[in-house]
Structure 1
């Protein structure tokens, strides 16, 4: 633990005494094997240009010095000596102020200090792509007057077809299908790459403009889930460092990158910039879209006794992060909610929690989606299944509104064609504010993006560079906050998307008509709404 050394920044090699040179050499050799360096900035300047000793180490500092910026130190503005001291005292149950010996003892006893404080270090793990393109990008950005990205986001291929979106791979899109699996496995070994940029996101509240950079992992969900979490962590960690080196201040996780291992916790701990899964806005926009469609269908009525919608809402994948929040929000809106997930013990825990916050709602549970699918008026699927069919579309109730939050989708185009009397929509995508320019194929029209990406952009617009959504449990307060943030900055719900594209009011009316017709034929009575 090194602190309070004299500021030697004004010294030149000619002004150094032999003792100072000896001290420099000795200290550099001593810290070579050290993992954690705790220091004031001026001491680091003792090493002048020789800062290699700090690269790859956990560097915790508690004052700012402009000269250090020339060496590209990536230091969070939230960490200083007082914050670290308070964190250590709280984690070890110490209430009284610590003297330097006690402070040193706690630091030494902390086996994983990076779990207490984010990594503060100069990265030596810059990607090859960043090294090659650094000079070109610098000149290009100056010519085009482009700023460094404010945020970064990670996506991956959702299918073999989407792998072909990668640079130079479109020529292989017509390869024989028998080679697909082999190609997918080969592509999964390739490093991540910069997929594109999101430019000109402008807040309607304060006019602030931000830009983002999007990275892609060339790996399908099946291989992503099968790979050891540590292997994926390492790939994503490299992306985080690359994004930080380019200037991004926060990074978001898309699709399956947010569910591997401990759902982003380890990635966040090892990243030099804050990480968010984006699930708070994903959950919010899902219910936002669902409410819009249910109102247009006009098949459900309000229960005058409870003030709730008189109908059955079902959540498949209820114990997942998005599923939990969706279930809680639906329980405050519907008078009956059915929770579906593989593990009964986790369902029981969730049901108990929901009954406490929504006592007027009747909560039931099931581990068999097909057994209960026929009673749902509204269905939200938020699963992480790759090959297994979660529910048979033929079992769904006529007029059921399905919001498919899963990526890849739980229901495909063939399912939608089988049941024209059921309305299947994708989870609520949103439109970013401003003349947004997205220069890559996200599979969505115009300035429409997935809600998890929008959450990352919103946090950058708000200047809240923090791990807003993390882990498997989404905080209620965060869902409310991000919804208000979205409305404040001008993020809007995009046109509702189905398997055939935008779902129009005419299509909703047709689905309703077919549903009423099927209900009439099954009951033998004419039904009209």
Structure 2
């Protein structure tokens, strides 16, 4: 998506608005309707967060605005007639409040600033108490008392003089007053940005009593709740026995036309210092005050007819939203609000249908997506809550009518129906500029989600919870990325599917923060007990992840770990390229939680699978050659060492772009020789150990010399080991090192590929006739056309094992696997959680081989197994879940 012209105003907000098709240019407003430059009409249920009380372009407000033509607007330090009249009328609105003074401002945030200054100057104290869910504006002083730190922390706003308490927590409230000298308590009677949550009368009454008892100012923020929004000039009037010291007004006071705010206070709240040292250039201006006077007149018309209308419409809206929550408990989890301030809580998506929906729920863009549907399809303007990303805000103009509310309720009903029926292609069609009826489908039947539950539980027996894990995932290809979307989008025709792919690529270019997308409540061990787990997903593919600057990669890893800790995981497994960008987990080894790359089980299981496939195809002979591509990597190195226990002739292949590749491969060759010599000493009669026993000149002398090198303090010099061994062997040496992949794998009966290239690059033509290939890379190293071009070759996915029991991690599962299969790196994470691991494993590029073998055997003991199965010596491809599916999964 290209940036729009509005990106000059706010490029970050523009990014969001463009992606949810909210980047409308409104050119006309009339009552409860807005009109964009294309002539579309929208029903307004946002009213500019309450700042448009009488709809758009109210005639009476415009008349007041124009009536002052010729009068001076700003005459500081003098007064204007309208300012004096407005102050008098505001003070007299509720005589029982005993307001004595009015101070005019330019906004709600400025009104809060003035109120805080007033409270502090009058009491001579600094501390202000506010609510955790409260919102009072975005200037520095207002931010200090705003509950959500996300608004203050980026700007280094000090909150040292602010005390936050939870709403309705009387004990915390009394503790705050008992422990500090308090200047004032600021609250909204309905927490607007805090979820449209009304405070109870009892709580507000207790706040007021404590303020009186301790000589603190009770500040009521009526910026959103006042001027008719809750059916009164001041909503606090409906709380029996409460009389505020200071009230802040704005939004609706403006009539929806001009910026203006006001602070009303009692005589006791005023101080001489405030009177002398607080002022504002634009305060008291004639234009704003004239419009505000018109606002009061319209609220008073017909002896408060509009206020009574608000009460009637509020009751209708309240009842209708309650019906929706009752009808769709699977979509809406809560409705709350009062007057014409309401919210609907969207029930979070759990990842069973789509990891994308779960990611959107956690990261707070599911409600914007739903708002986008309502704006673009239903033509109704609503918005999310700033503080509560799972809440949809409903805040219409005061002049809203029953038929308008019914239209909103009908649109919400249609939206909920689409969600319930999993028709997400229709719900989200607007993202790609289409109406639902424009979409066409591939003809596939949309399958219902068939989750495979974790085993049964014996009656009366409660299994032991052994621990918990988090596994970090991300798409390894464009196909994987699309597969995280709901099924109805996956089933679209190619062109429409491509439009969604393009949208996702653009959206995830910036919104890729990791989030928990699936919860596995119970995975049982064969030894007894179970573990609980979460998948933590980031939507970045490998090439994007690798291109991140180092600081961004580290921040991404920190976010992954933070998400894992937030769900209470005991151990974190690094999937796919999260291991690569963290240097095999070394960069986050000190993150305060055990880490595993899963590379031990991946390597050994892949090597075992290749060996079994070679045995079953009759190619596991004394003279068989096995190539390991990516042998200098963590998985490749371990796999090569393990394969040497079966095969004497190995080809270690590295990256030709790496100037040190040959030297690194030579070191690994020396390590393999050292391992084989140990096996030889233990009497091994197969693989490289047997070859060395048969071919070494003076084997005891070689062993003695190698032991001196390997056992000395420090890192063994495996290059020297290689030199010693090969000096005492006939030529050519059994281990070949090379960076010419095309040439050397033509001689390999078996190939194990485990590079981190991030794309498919191995041509089918390079392979030997009837070769067996285990591709353990993600995404695959071997190109997908192997299926058509080389029917003689057996190719299967490496790093895949039989899971401890059939289990499906949502509709998409991991890379679309059959429920009986899963990644070895995930399985290692699960096995370590089952074993109560308290430390990190499989870290770095040089994982000890004996540690890998222990993990492999540990996983087998819990019920995991290699995914290659044989029946009477023949490959059971159906049981293994490979064959056509695996080959088809390899990407071009």
- Bin for the TM-score computed over the shorter chain: 0.5 to 0.7
CA contact (8 A) 1:240 1:272 kept: no
Q: Distance in 2 between matches of 1:399 and 1:385?
A: 25
Given the alignment, which residue of 187, 190, 193 partners 2:508? 187
Residue 165 (1) aligns with residue 483 (2) = yes
Shift of 1:475: 1.1
- CA, structure 1 residues 506+156, in 2 after alignment: closer, same or farther (shift >3 Å)? closer
Say whether 1:282 aligns with 2:570.
no
Q: Matches of residues 340-355 of structure 1 in structure 2 within 5 Å? A: 340-342=653-655, 343-355=661-673
Range moving further from structure 2, 180-189 or 319-328: 180-189
The residue aligned with 1:433 is: 804
Task: Please say if residues 760 and 780 of structure 2, whose CA atoms lie closer than 8 Å, have aligned partners that are also in contact.
Answer: no
Q: Tell me: CA distance 1:283–1:132, structure 2 relative to 1, closer, same or farther (3 Å).
A: farther
Quick check: 1:251–1:456 contact (8 Å CA) kept in 2?
Answer: yes
1:483 aligns with 2:856: yes
Q: Indicate conservation of the 8 Å contact 2:775/2:782, yes or no.
A: yes
Q: Sort the Cα spacing of 1:128 and 1:275 in 2 relative to 1 into closer, same or farther, 3 A.
A: same
The equivalent residue for 2:534 is: 213
- Residue 322 of structure 1, aligned match among 627, 632, 635: 635
The structure 2 residue matched to 1:458, chosen from 818, 823, 831, is: 831
* TM-score between both structures, scaled by the size of structure 2: 0.38
Task: Sort the Cα spacing of 1:263 and 1:169 in 2 relative to 1 into closer, same or farther, 3 A.
Answer: farther
- Report the Cα distance in structure 2 between the residues aligned to 1:507 and 1:262, rounded to whole angstroms: 32
Q: Distance in 1 between matches of 2:818 and 2:643?
A: 29
Q: CA RMSD in A?
A: 3.6
Moved more, 409-418 or 446-455: 409-418
- Kindly indicate whether residue 813 of structure 2 is the aligned counterpart of residue 492 of structure 1: no
Partner Cα distance (2:603, 2:388) in 1:
39
1:295 has 2:295 as partner: no
Q: 1:468 aligns with which of 821, 829, 841?
A: 841
Return the offset for 1:495: 5.2
2:714 alignment counterpart: none
8 Å contact kept, 1:432–1:454: yes
**Which blocks of at least 5 consecutive residues in structure 2 are unaligned?**
1-158, 161-174, 177-361, 365-386, 391-461, 656-660, 678-690, 693-733, 871-875, 885-892
CA distance in 2, matches of 1:169, 1:340: 40
Alignment match, 2:347 = none
**Is the Cα contact below 8 Å between 2:573 and 2:597 reproduced in 1?**
yes
Question: Any conservation in 2 of the 1:198–1:436 contact (CA below 8 Å)?
Answer: no
Deviation at 1:296, TM superposition (A): 1.0
Answering whether residue 624 of structure 2 is matched by residue 311 of structure 1, we say yes
- Distance in structure 1 (CA, Å) of the matches to 2:882 and 2:363: 50
Please state how far the C-alpha of 1:406 moved relative to its aligned partner: 0.5
Q: 1:509 to 1:252 in 2, by over 3 A?
A: closer
Equivalent position to 2:784, from 413, 417, 421: 413
Which residue number corresponds to residue 111 of structure 2? none
Q: Deviations over 1:179-234 (max 9, x none)?
A: 856742531422222221334321112x1111110011101111111112331221
Contact 1:199 1:438 (8 Å CA) reproduced? no
- Give the equivalent residue in structure 2 for 1:368: 740
Report what 2:821 is aligned to: 448
Alignment of 1:66-77 (within 5 A): none
User: What secondary structure does 2:570 align onto?
Assistant: coil
Misfit runs of 4+, over 6 Å? 131-134, 145-149, 505-510
In the alignment, the residues of structure 2 paired with residue 440 and residue 154 of structure 1 have an alpha-carbon distance, to the nearest angstrom, of: 18
Cα distance in 2, alignment partners of residues 401 and 169 from structure 1: 34
- Aligned partners of 2:842, 2:743: CA distance in 1, in Å? 33
User: Quick check: 1:265–1:471 contact (8 Å CA) kept in 2?
Assistant: yes
**How many residue pairs are counted as aligned between the two chains?**
366
- Report what 1:523 is aligned to: none
Distance 1:384 1:178 in 2: 29
How far off is 1:160 after superposition? 1.7
Helix, strand or coil at the partner of 2:508: helix
Per-residue CA deviation, residues 465-492 of structure 1 (Å, 9 max, x unaligned), is 3211111112112111111101211112
335-344 or 235-244, larger mean C-alpha shift: 235-244
Shift in CA distance, 148/328, structure 1 to aligned 2, threshold 3 Å:
closer
Bigger Rg, which one: 2
Cα separation, 2, equivalents of 1:384 and 1:507: 24
1:99 equivalent in structure 2: none
Q: Distance in 1 between matches of 2:883 and 2:775?
A: 20
For structure 1, the 5+ residue unaligned runs are 1-31, 34-47, 50-126, 135-144, 302-308, 511-529
Mapped to 1, the partners of 2:596 and 2:827 lie a distance apart of 11
CA separation of 1:187/1:418 partners in 2, compared to 1, >3 Å: closer, same or farther?
A: same
2:755 to 372, 380, 383: 383
Structure 1 residue 155 and structure 2 residue 473: aligned?
yes
| Match for residue 401 of structure 1 among 747, 753, 772 | 772
SS for the counterpart of 2:593 is coil
**Within-5 A mapping of 1:26-41:** none
Shift in Å at residue 388 of structure 1? Answer: 6.0
Change (3 A) 1:495 1:408: same
2: CA distance, partners of 1:348 / 1:248: 40
1:325-355 residue CA offsets vs partner (Å, 9 max, x unmatched): 1111122211210111021121122122222
More moved, 361-370 vs 161-170:
161-170
Residues in 1 aligned to 2:808 and 2:880: alpha-carbon distance in whole angstroms: 30
CA contact (8 A) 2:471 2:572 kept: yes
* CA gap 1:418/1:199 in 2 versus in 1, 3 angstroms: farther
Counterpart position of 1:15 = none
Assess if the C-alpha contact under 8 Å between 2:807 and 2:820 holds in 1: yes
Compared with structure 1, are the counterparts of its residues 194 and 349 closer, same or farther at alpha carbon in structure 2 (3 Å cutoff)?
Answer: same
Secondary structure at 1:438 match in 2: coil
Distance in 1 separating the partners of 2:832 and 2:522? 15
Match of 1:246 among 552, 567, 571: 567
CA, structure 1 residues 388+507, in 2 after alignment: closer, same or farther (shift >3 Å)? Answer: closer
